[in-house]
Amino acid sequence: MNFIETRGNDGIKPEEVTFSEAILSPSASFGGLYVPKELPFLEENFIQNHIDKSYKELAYNILKAFKIDIDDEEINKALDLYDNFDEASNPCPVVKVKDDLFVHEQYHGPTRAFKDMALQPFGSILSSIAKKRDEHYLILAATSGDTGPAALNTFKNKENIQVACLYPDGGTSDVQRLQMVCEDGDNLKVLGIHGNFDDAQSALKNLLSSESFKKELEDDGIKLSAANSVNFGRIIFQIIYHFWSYIQLLKQEEITFGEKIYLVVPSGNFGNVLGGFYAQEMGVPVEKLLVASNENNILTEWINTGIYDIRDKDLKLTKSPAMDILKSSNIERVIYSLYGAKRTKEFFDDLNEKKIFKMTEEETKKLQKYFAAINSDDKYGAKIIKDFLDDGYLMDPHTATCLKAYEELKEKELKTVIYSTAEWTKFSPTVLNALHKNNISYADKEALETISKEYNAKQPDSIKKLFTAKVNHDLVIDKNDIEKEIVKFIRNN
Ligand SMILES: *Cc1c(COP(=O)(O)O)cnc(C)c1O
């Protein structure tokens, strides 16, 4: 299957590209993104036929339905990486917490956040394509704390790939920072920058479109790619687990086939919930996708009003930092699906020029058929974390934002799956503040140990060993020096 562009074609880039091409160079005409030409058709009993299948089998069959230009051997090698998750046959368990509420735990991979679900297999596929073509790629990643560790982990020592990862210094947890700066592998460069996540992301976008930088890389025989969720190579793996949600509820006999469910997704760049949207389009019986945000309520505003307005908005730093966002990239793919390329280009031209776009009332209604949204603040999150642990379930602050949607957005009495995007170990100071009802600023190590001891919660070895690991990357630089540092890294490799 081929891929086309969300903002139409500029007459220079090809009108259609293969999956390999879309993931190797993910930026499309006019700054748009690649989307599948059409979503695959699944046979009638696809979902029922997978009730007794493993996650890997489900994933394989969904990937095959997309008819991607990747050999079976490479697909299987990529999917085998799910064997490294806590439970190989069930890498993302769906756990019942009460009557109609289920938590889909997406954090059982190597870096303890949901980014592993897609980045683990994506890293393997990208490296294999690059190798097959005898091409060398530089992956630039900007991270608010979870993408970086997951990208570094998946690409470390992978052939034909180098990674430069930018993180906002002081904007991540200790665990997240250590997961990045302690990662080894000659093909990795980790740079802290002075600024917030949006600064890091803008710097990355500038570099991706900088002709001078591209020229410098070309001279070294290196092409640029990206591993953030603008890359469809990640999105394709984010469709699968929404099928898994439904299949697990069927398997647990909580629903009968055809019964609709709510999916609640804590959102930032909109990749996770976009996967849910595609899964719904491909046949998963979803009543509605409920989008949870934190105090950065741009997605809530957009879905509730049809207006995306960042004119007077500043990024707020919250306790659910992976959702701190102003410009959410993957809404573009939903907009394309619902209103076509012409409108998509108009909206994003407006957003670039005027920092605002407005949909018509009719367009907004259409959006609201699929999505509803709500936001909550850190105080609410703290209360949820405490209340749920009192009932025996420990969750992280991103997951906690979902409960607001569960409590207030449901219009029907249907089973609800909330997505748990990070393990508590990644945000332990916030979790301990919630449990002890205080504002003491704990170091991660202290918080991890206290929570483990007082609440009998298990820390995985991958987290414990971080605190004695060797730091391999200690640079924190100014935004203006990023290009220089990256060029130096390339030259030395
Ligand atoms: C990345 C991330 C999110 C946001 O996911 P998007 O796909 O960007 O919407 C939410 N929670 C955690 C813990 C994350 O790492």
pLDDT in tens, 307-363: 999 999 998 989 998 998 899 999 999 999 999 999 999 999 999 999 999 999 999
- Judged by DSSP in three states, 72 sits in helix
Q: What pLDDT is attached to residue 491?
A: 85
Q: Residue 419 in contact with residue 263, Cβ under 8 Å? A: yes
Residue type, 458: K
Q: What is the mean pLDDT of residues 86-95?
A: 96
Ligand 1 binding site (Cβ under 6 Å of any ligand atom): 113-115, 146, 229, 266-272, 322-323, 398, 421-422
Ligand 1 nearest-atom number relative to CA 267: 9
Q: How far is CA 436 from the centre of its chain?
A: 30
By most ligand atoms within 8 Å of CB, the mutation choice from 398, 401, 418, 419 for ligand 1 is 398
By most ligand atoms within 8 Å of CB, the mutation choice from 230, 242, 272 for ligand 1 is 272
Q: Which residue has the tokens 């410009």?
A: 327
Q: What are phi and psi of 313, to 5 degrees?
A: -105, 135
* Ligand 1 centroid – CA 441 distance (Å): 24
3-state helix, strand, coil in the chain (%, to 5): 50, 15, 35
Of the listed ranges 36-45, 52-61, 293-302, the one predicted with least confidence: 36-45
Distance CA 233, CA 120 (A): 11
Q: What pLDDT is attached to residue 113?
A: 95
Distance CA 284, CA 229 (A): 22
Of the listed ranges 170-179, 269-278, 289-298, the one predicted with least confidence: 170-179
Partner residues linked to 129 by β-bridges: none
Ligand 1 nearest-atom number relative to CA 114: 15
Calculate the average pLDDT of the chain: 95
Q: What are phi and psi of 439, to 5 degrees?
A: -125, 20
Partner residues linked to 98 by β-bridges: 101
Taking the C-alpha atoms of 462, 465, 466 and 467 in order, what is their torsion angle to the nearest 10 degrees?
150
* Ligand 1 centroid – CA 196 distance (Å): 16
What confidence category does residue 229 fall into, taking pLDDT thresholds of 50, 70 and 90?
confident
Q: Residue 291 in contact with residue 265, Cβ under 8 Å? A: yes
More confident residue, 487 or 75: 75
Residue type, 489: F
Residue nearest to atom 3 of ligand 1 (CA): 322
Distance CA 161, CA 147 (A): 17
The contacts of residue 407 (CB under 8 Å, 6+ apart) are none
Q: What is the mean pLDDT of residues 61-82?
A: 97
Q: What pLDDT is attached to residue 212?
A: 83
pLDDT digits (tens, 9 = 90+) for 132-156: 999 999 998 888 788 899 999 999 9
Distance CA 53, CA 67 (A): 20
What confidence category does residue 199 fall into, taking pLDDT thresholds of 50, 70 and 90?
confident
Residue nearest to atom 1 of ligand 1 (CA): 322
Q: What is the mean pLDDT of residues 278-285?
A: 98
By most ligand atoms within 8 Å of CB, the mutation choice from 179, 421, 424 for ligand 1 is 421
* Ligand 1 centroid – CA 320 distance (Å): 9
Partner residues linked to 427 by β-bridges: none
Q: What pLDDT is attached to residue 202?
A: 81
* Ligand 1 centroid – CA 232 distance (Å): 16
* Ligand 1 centroid – CA 215 distance (Å): 33
Angle between helices 428-436 and 378-390 (to 10 degrees): 70
Residue nearest to atom 8 of ligand 1 (CA): 269
Element containing residue 439 per DSSP (H, E): none
Q: What pLDDT is attached to residue 27?
A: 86
Q: Residue 268 in contact with residue 298, Cβ under 8 Å? A: no
* Ligand 1 centroid – CA 323 distance (Å): 6
Does the pLDDT of residue 434 top 90, yes or no? yes
Residue (of 249, 269, 332) closest to 32 by Cα position: 332
For the entire predicted model, the pTM comes to 0.95
Distance CA 94, CA 44 (A): 24
| Helical ranges in 94-227 per DSSP H | 115-132, 147-155, 174-181, 197-209, 211-219
CB atoms within 10 A of CB 118: 29
Angle between helices 298-305 and 361-370 (to 10 degrees): 120
* Ligand 1 centroid – CA 14 distance (Å): 31
Q: What pLDDT is attached to residue 226?
A: 80
Does the pLDDT of residue 200 top 90, yes or no? no
Residue nearest to atom 2 of ligand 1 (CA): 322
Structure tokens at 387: 């209340």
Angle between helices 55-65 and 72-79 (to 10 degrees): 140
The contacts of residue 53 (CB under 8 Å, 6+ apart) are none
Q: What pLDDT is attached to residue 44?
A: 86
The contacts of residue 171 (CB under 8 Å, 6+ apart) are 144, 145, 196, 197, 317, 321
Q: Which three-class secondary structure string do you get for 271-288?
A: HHHHHHHHHHHCCCCEEE
Distance CA 470, CA 131 (A): 30
What confidence category does residue 306 fall into, taking pLDDT thresholds of 50, 70 and 90?
very high
Q: What pLDDT is attached to residue 470?
A: 96
